[in-house]
Amino acid sequence: AAGTARGVALAAAAATAVALAVAAWRRARPVREVLFFPSRPCCIEALLAEAAEPGAPARPCPCPLPSGDTALSRLVRRLLSARRSLDLCLFSFSCPQLARAVQLLHRRGVRVRLVTDAQYMGLHGSQIGRLRHAGIQVRHDQHSGYMHHKFAIVDRRMLITGSLNWTTQAIQSNRENVLVVEDAEYVKAFQDEFERIWEEYNPANYRFF
């Protein structure tokens, strides 16, 4: 009996060690993900609730949408993983769900900066005004050319970039791609581009003709 008990304990310890090793390997392995859209419609209320109040008991959402694993839910998860900073460089931002995720991060103390296009920020449904009202720093171009990037950088560590504008139309109806990469070289190139644009679009530099 003692031998059996020792065997069970040993097996349990071995299983724990393997689980810990797998978890460590998962944590250490840099993210490399490709998301294709259109995304199946899905409910992200549970994701937002968990991010707003980690560990709080889940309240079922009354909406009829499934809350499964979709391109949109994966994108939201990546954004909500931000702990310190979120730099957004977005041509068009009108998706209310993504705006709620960004506001939530801002409320949680994440430093959010947003660069956008002057001609698109005022269009119907744009979330830029709402984000500014919430206290998020927004800068925009002053050119006739478009600020056409569509990328985000999470914690100066993870780059999210592709063809996807942050609009409900794009998410639900278009063929689109998004790359999620934790790669120091790519992140640095995009972070440098963000800082260049952030400085160039500083309102102190506006010219009034």
Q: Among residues 71 and 110, whose Cβ is nearest to a second copy?
A: 71
Active site residue 148: yes
Say how far apart CA 201 and CA 90 lie, in whole Å: 14
Catalytic-role residue among 106, 140, 149, 150? 150
Catalytic-role residue among 69, 148, 188, 192? 148
Per-residue tokens: 119: 């001609």
Catalytic-role residue among 155, 183, 188, 192? 155
Question: Of 171, 154, 178, 14, which is closest to residue 86 (Cα–Cα)?
Answer: 154
Residue ranges binding a second copy (CB under 8 A): 32, 34, 36, 38, 91, 141, 143-151, 161-164, 169-170, 172-177, 179, 185-186, 189-190, 193, 197
**3-state class of 89 per DSSP?**
strand
Backbone φ, ψ for residue 99 (5° rounding) = -65, -40
Q: Among residues 73 and 165, whose Cβ is nearest to a second copy?
A: 165
Taking the complex as a whole, the smallest distance from the CB of residue 75 to a second copy amounts, in Å, to 15
Active site residue 188: no
Q: Among residues 45 and 141, whose Cβ is nearest to a second copy?
A: 141
Taking the complex as a whole, the smallest distance from the CB of residue 208 to a second copy amounts, in Å, to 21
The packing angle between helices 45-52 and 71-80, to 10°, is: 10
DSSP-derived secondary structure letter, 108: T
Taking the complex as a whole, the smallest distance from the CB of residue 77 to a second copy amounts, in Å, to 18
Taking the complex as a whole, the smallest distance from the CB of residue 134 to a second copy amounts, in Å, to 25
Per-residue tokens: 138: 């927004």
Provide CB contacts within 8 A for 141, sequence distance 6+.
117, 118, 147, 201
By annotation, the residues acting in catalysis are: 148, 150, 155
